[in-house]
Amino acid sequence: MAFYRCFKSTLLAMTSSKVAAATVVALACLAATIYTHRRRRKKSARATPYERKGGVLEAIGNTPLIKIHSLSEATGCEILGKAEFLSPGGSVKDRVAVQIIEEALQSGKLHVGGLVTEGSAGSTAISLAMVASAYGCRCHVVIPDDAAIEKAQILEALGAVVERVRPVSISHKEHFVNIARRRAELAESTYKAQLNGSNGMNLKTAFSFCN
């Protein structure tokens, strides 16, 4: 718009003897407009930097630390929160899923195209479905049928096969975790038990918070 106004005023004042001078003025206006626009774009880019990731696996970990001012003021210490909600799967369970699947692949218990089976109605299943897909593996998730339908939809969107079963006590053989274990044994897939410390993943994940 600045260039257009400048050019229009130049044309109105133009006479046959001033064509060359008017052209120079118009070009100068154009150059100034382009220069100003580029400077604004560069300034905007500096104000809003971003880092490009090559995939979801690269985006797991290295989440930012955010200062919690209220707690810092109350305690006299600098209190920081680890923003794990910014991980692709939305929780710290992404780190757990990476540890589980990478270890299974390295040990030969799982191979590309293999099946990961999980009994979970929470974020663990979402993380496993996402990470399994990223590694080229399949995922079968067993959940209780009273779990939110949105969770099943997210799992299916991530490529997992979702099996909904009736909710029963954990001691019952038809509990979703126990069903998932049997499905894993029948399919000779890798089964990831709920976070009970039995496979040492809690400790490894805790150390990963350094990043």
Residues forming the active site: 93
Alpha carbon distance 140, 189 (integer Å): 10
Alpha carbon distance 132, 168 (integer Å): 28
Residue that is written with structure tokens 């064509």 in the block: 19
Alpha carbon distance 198, 71 (integer Å): 34
3-state helix, strand, coil in the chain (%, to 5): 55, 10, 35
Residue that is written with structure tokens 């923003």 in the block: 83
What's 80's DSSP letter? E
Treating both helix axes as pointing N-terminal to C-terminal, what angle do 201-208 and 93-107 enclose, rounded to 10 degrees?
A: 120
Beta bridge partners of 80: 67
Q: Is the dihedral of CA 99, 101, 104, 107 positive or negative?
A: negative
